[in-house]
């Protein structure tokens, strides 16, 4: 019977450990259709110089990786790594209902990558901005606009927005609408 050398045992142990992945936490994130959501992914101190990424589903295929820190921006995704806080943030803009689901915060390293957090993203319909009303008038004329809101918002600022993206507002607000 052949004895295992300490080098062989160390190699086998390192292979076994490289297969270990764990999600340190579950992050619940929610955003509204057509808007953006930002997810903060923590990581351990030893990974500050490693590439980070956000992947989807089981992360088995290249197309499951939505964005990496080496890319900065990619389509509707952007990523920023704050080494001092040991957190990387991913912003997904112009959310679609199909964006909802499971994501993983990952760190690239030798062997199998560790997932620092599981992200469960929900995308809600944006009831405030899904419908619009066209009001016609003539130049120099006046218009009257009625906006319904819950009484709990009585003392909040109200806004009238124009354009195709109400979430990027340029109009001033008032308490007297």
The DSSP code for 153 is G
DSSP 22-80: --S-EEEEEEETTS-EEEEEE--GGGTTS-EEEEETT--SGGGEEEETTTSEETTEEEE
**How would you list the strands of the sheet with 77-82, edge to edge?**
37-42, 87-92, 77-82, 73-74
pLDDT of 3: 55
**Dist. CA 124–CA 23, nearest whole Å:** 25
Report the share of the chain in percent with pLDDT over 70.
Answer: 69
Band of the pLDDT at 163, cuts 50, 70, 90?
Answer: low
pLDDT of 103: 95
- Between 137 and 6, the more confident residue is 137
Q: Which secondary-structure segment (H or E) carries 104?
A: strand 101-107
Output the average pLDDT for the chain. Answer: 78
pLDDT of 105: 94
Task: Give the position of tokens 């218009």.
Answer: 143
Mean pLDDT of 80-102: 94
pLDDT, tens only, 25-50: 899 999 889 889 999 999 998 899 99
**Dist. CA 77–CA 41, nearest whole Å:** 14
Whether 38 contacts 121, CB under 8 Å:
no
| pTM > 0.75 | no
Spatial CA neighbour of 28 closest among 130, 133, 88, 118? 118
Give 155's Cβ-side CA count (13 Å radius): 0
| 14: pLDDT strictly greater than 50 | no
pLDDT of 56: 94
Mean pLDDT of 125-151: 70
**Dist. CA 103–CA 120, nearest whole Å:** 6
For domain 18-124, the question of CATH label 3.30.70.20 is answered with no
pLDDT, tens only, 42-76: 999 889 999 999 999 888 888 899 999 999 999 99
Report the share of the chain in percent with pLDDT over 90.
Answer: 40
**Dist. CA 111–CA 18, nearest whole Å:** 5
Q: Could you tell me the sign of the dihedral formed by the alpha carbons of 7, 9, 10, 11, in that order?
A: positive
pLDDT of 130: 53
Mean pLDDT of 140-153: 74
């Amino acid at each position: 019977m052949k004895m295992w050398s300490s080098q062989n045992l160390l190699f086998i142990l390192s292979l076994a450990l490289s297969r270990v992945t764990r999600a340190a936490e579950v992050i619940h994130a929610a955003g509204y259709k057509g808007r953006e959501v930002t997810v903060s992914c923590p990581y351990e101190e030893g990974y500050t110089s490693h590439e980070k990424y956000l992947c989807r589903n089981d992360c088995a295929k290249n197309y499951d990786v939505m964005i990496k820190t080496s890319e900065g921006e990619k389509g509707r995704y952007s990523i920023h790594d704050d080494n001092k806080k040991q957190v990387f943030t991913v912003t997904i803009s112009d959310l679609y209902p199909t964006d909802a689901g499971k994501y993983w915060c990952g760190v690239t390293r030798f062997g199998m990558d560790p997932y620092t957090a599981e992200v469960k993203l929900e995308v809600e319909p944006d009831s405030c901005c899904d419908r619009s009303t066209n009001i016609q008038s003539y130049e120099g004329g006046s218009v009257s606009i009625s906006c319904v809101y819950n009484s709990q918002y009585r003392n909040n600022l109200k806004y009238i927005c124009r354009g195709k993206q109400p979430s990027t507002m340029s109009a001033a607000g008032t308490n007297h609408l």
